[in-house]
Structure 1
């Protein structure tokens, strides 16, 4: 009958006094503690900061952009379609008045059967230049939450990746120390250990 050896695991051994504990074990313990703290706290702070910044930027865009009535100045019948994703709309030239009263022209997407002179709605910034339609409040919240989550993943991943790189460097150094110790032991025994 074979006897089984029970292996006990010592938790937090790098932090306890131990004659076998090396300086690199203490450094590794601090690296792991710092990486864990950065991954959790830094990730959350980066995520919240990113979410807030994105949401504020999208809210600012929503307040600065305004819908303006424009008039199509060319027929859209002979224009090629943009893509199926845009309901087969086409680019056509439009004219509109800016808030300061000046007249502007630009391109917007319209249905392909739209004749010249048809009214169209375009979105402009505070200077009267064409811009894209702003996202709704719900879309802004979703985009901000996704950007915040991405910031959490990137920040936490960078902290964990840095810890793995530092541990790999420490492991290489420990292996070099082991090789040197074995070489010294081999010399003391007259070269008979290898």
Structure 2
């Protein structure tokens, strides 16, 4: 059986109004899925890149001193801390005041050892900001996820619209069949 390209758009005396509407739904679904996915993914990726860039700009590294010995081995938590442990540190804030707090440091650090911590403009400890490569990867993955999500949602909506049209066509067909062959086709 030969399939005809763009069969939905061909002129045919048996083509119903619902067939034309379905053809437009399919076309609109593809356009919105592709263009909407690309635009949405690009926007989400750019927004994530801006957020991470702002986070990197707001934090800066300062030297701190361990006030106690750090634990010898990191807990296996799988939380992405990269083999570090928490220890109490002391650092000088931008306003000149001395502050203390818990920071992630390498294991087995001795008291009074110098370590690097990240603080914000108020002098409070913050997590280590992502590197430019990590931010780029996270932004790309966010954009891809949003693009796929928009595409999937659009295809799902198109599928539901076509399903409803199919059900309506079946009801119309049953009604017409009941009118033409009231005995159910038996003679």
Shorter-chain TM-score bucket reads: 0.7 to 0.9
Give 1:75 shift: 2.3
The structure having more radius of gyration, on CA atoms, is 1
RMSD: 2.2
1:152 aligns with 2:147: yes
Aligned counterpart, 2:21: 27
Aligned counterpart, 2:158: 163
Give 1:184 shift: 1.2
Separation in 1, partners of 2:135, 2:175:
60
Aligned counterpart, 2:138: 143
Aligned counterpart, 2:69: 75
| Preserved contact between residue 80 and residue 90 of structure 1 (Cα < 8 Å) | yes
Q: Which residues in structure 2 correspond to 1:76-95 (within 5 Å)?
A: 76-77=70-71, 81-83=74-76, 86=81, 88-95=83-90
Aligned counterpart, 1:110: 105
Over 3 Å counting, the alpha-carbon distance change for 1:142 and 1:162 in structure 2 is same
The TM-score with structure 2 as length reference comes to 0.86
- The one-character-per-residue Cα deviations of 1:158-178 (angstroms, maximum 9, x if unpaired) are 111111111111111111111
| Preserved contact between residue 43 and residue 151 of structure 1 (Cα < 8 Å) | yes
Over 3 Å counting, the alpha-carbon distance change for 1:112 and 1:13 in structure 2 is closer
The TM-score with structure 1 as length reference comes to 0.84
- The one-character-per-residue Cα deviations of 1:34-78 (angstroms, maximum 9, x if unpaired) are 11111111111111111211112222222211001111122224x
Give 1:81 shift: 3.1
Q: Would you say how many aligned residue pairs link Structure 1 and Structure 2?
A: 184
Q: Which residues in structure 2 correspond to 1:44-63 (within 5 Å)?
A: 44-63=38-57
Separation in 1, partners of 2:53, 2:104:
24
- 3-state SS of the aligned residue for 1:18? coil
Separation in 1, partners of 2:110, 2:184:
97
Q: Which residues in structure 2 correspond to 1:113-128 (within 5 Å)?
A: 113-128=108-123
